[in-house]
């Protein structure tokens, strides 16, 4: 593996370059990457750009563990009677379609590895409640999701469970969006505190942030299932084209001959993210700024570029669908492998805490 480039420009992590390079060059002991996703519904372009497109290639440099955070989904969806397991399977089908290779990364289910819960419980002995109350997402979500009761211990403990998810595998790097940075900050603090009591048994994780700016939703608000402004990975070409046609664009540009703004315009942000024909994008931008192109042309070309980019995903999705039990089996097997690692960590943790009988 010494031929693997040490650091790509895409990833934050340059400061740790020498350490990574050393690990990659010496043995099969590559640093571990851990990340998870809550199975709360269909995956959309935000998941693709913000997470999945980054997850896939990481196995070249790291040992990767990716899991379905079903317990985390329950922290906010506990009142929903519908089972989340079908979402879980469906989401993993999307992961694979998006290029996460189940042969090279371990894919598994959080709740099939109960050691996550054991470590979360043990960490909870040393983590003060105010630390959890101070995590910004805690209050934000409570204010935003008013249709449900989030005054539960489970919801307060969300970042602590996330800490355990990572630490139980000695996860060193965590590929996440910038919305997760505060959680990882809590993780590092919790682990440091644990170390003060019991010695250095765990690893402090670092985020692997993607520099790609977040894609807005079709209406220029934050992309979110609850706003109905997403393009889903399972949308067919016709649906994508229809959605693109309805996209928000420069509102001041009521006619095609009025000069438009490209910066911050979702139509052009999507062009930048999906259209590989850079010359075409540059030409469209120049003509848009000059008031020399209609929205219809800009959007028609965007829809074509997006459908071209999504077609390989759709093809893989069709393949995956042919073997419906395959994903379930792969997750059960992945969970078994993950559990072996988690059990070894828990042996160390129990030793450190003198829980030996
Ligand atoms: N909180 C993450 C999110 O909403 C999901 C998650 C749970 C996670 N456990 C994790 C991500 C551990 C990375 C590592 O996206």
DSSP string, 144-200: H-TTS---SHHHHTHHHHHHHHHHTTT--EEEE-GGGHHHHHHHHHHHHHHHHHH-S
pLDDT at 103: 95
Q: How far away, in angstroms, is 162 Cα from ligand 1 center?
A: 6
Closest CA to 46 of 174, 178, 214: 214
Put the strands of the sheet holding 32-37 in their side by side order. 106-109, 63-68, 32-37, 173-176, 206-209
* CB of 51 shorter than 6 A to ligand 1: no
Q: How far away, in angstroms, is 288 Cα from ligand 1 center?
A: 39
Q: Look at phi and psi of residue 285 and say left if phi exceeds 0, alpha if psi is from -120 to 50, else beta.
A: alpha
pLDDT at 14: 30
* CB of 240 shorter than 6 A to ligand 1: no
What are the average pLDDT values for consecutive 10-residue runs of the chain, which has 357 residues?
32 34 51 96 92 92 97 87 88 96 97 98 98 95 88 96 98 92 97 98 93 84 90 96 96 93 96 96 97 96 97 93 89 98 98 96
**Nearest-CA residue for atom 8 of ligand 1:** 36
pLDDT at 9: 30
* Phi, psi angles (nearest 5°) of residue 9: -70, -15
* CB of 176 shorter than 6 A to ligand 1: yes
The atom of ligand 1 lying closest to the CA of 34 is 14
pLDDT at 345: 98
Q: How far away, in angstroms, is 67 Cα from ligand 1 center?
A: 9
pLDDT at 25: 39
pLDDT at 22: 38
Q: Taking the model in full, what pTM does it have?
A: 0.88
């Amino acid at each position: 593996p010494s031929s693997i480039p040490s650091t790509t420009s895409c990833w934050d992590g340059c400061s740790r370059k020498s350490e990574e390079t050393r690990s990659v060059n010496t043995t099969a002991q590559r640093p571990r990457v851990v990340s998870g996703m809550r199975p709360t519904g269909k995956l959309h372009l935000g998941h693709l750009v913000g997470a999945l497109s980054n997850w896939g290639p990481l196995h070249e440099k790291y040992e990767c563990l990716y899991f379905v955070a079903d317990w985390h989904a329950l922290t906010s969806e506990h009142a929903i009677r519908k089972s989340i397991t079908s979402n879980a399977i469906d989401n993993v089908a999307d992961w694979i379609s998006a290029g996460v290779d189940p042969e090279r990364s371990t894919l598994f289910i959080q709740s099939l590895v109960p050691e996550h819960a054991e470590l979360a419980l043990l960490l909870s002995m040393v983590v003060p409640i105010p630390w959890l109350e101070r995590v910004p997402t805690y209050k934000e979500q409570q204010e935003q999701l008013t249709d449900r009761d989030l005054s539960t211990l489970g919801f307060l403990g969300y970042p602590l469970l996330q800490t355990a998810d990572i630490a139980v595998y000695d996860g060193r790097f965590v590929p996440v969006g910038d919305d997760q940075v505060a959680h990882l900050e809590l993780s590092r603090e919790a682990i440091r505190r644990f170390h003060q009591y019991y010695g250095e048994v765990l690893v402090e994780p670092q985020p692997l942030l993607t520099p790609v700016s977040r894609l807005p939703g079709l209406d220029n608000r934050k992309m979110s299932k609850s706003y109905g402004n997403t393009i889903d990975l399972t949308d067919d070409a016709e649906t994508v084209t229809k959605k693109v046609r309805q996209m928000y664009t420069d509102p001041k540009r009521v006619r095609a001959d009025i000069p438009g703004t490209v910066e911050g315009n979702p139509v052009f942000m999507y062009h930048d993210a999906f259209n590989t024909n850079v010359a075409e994008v540059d030409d469209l931008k120049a003509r848009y700024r000059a008031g020399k192109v209609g929205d219809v042309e800009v959007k028609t070309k965007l829809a074509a570029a997006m459908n071209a980019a999504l077609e390989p995903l759709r093809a893989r999705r069709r393949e995956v669908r042919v073997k419906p039990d395959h994903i379930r089996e792969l997750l059960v097997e992945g969970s078994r492998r993950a559990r072996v690692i988690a059990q070894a960590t828990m042996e160390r943790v129990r030793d450190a805490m003198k829980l030996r009988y």
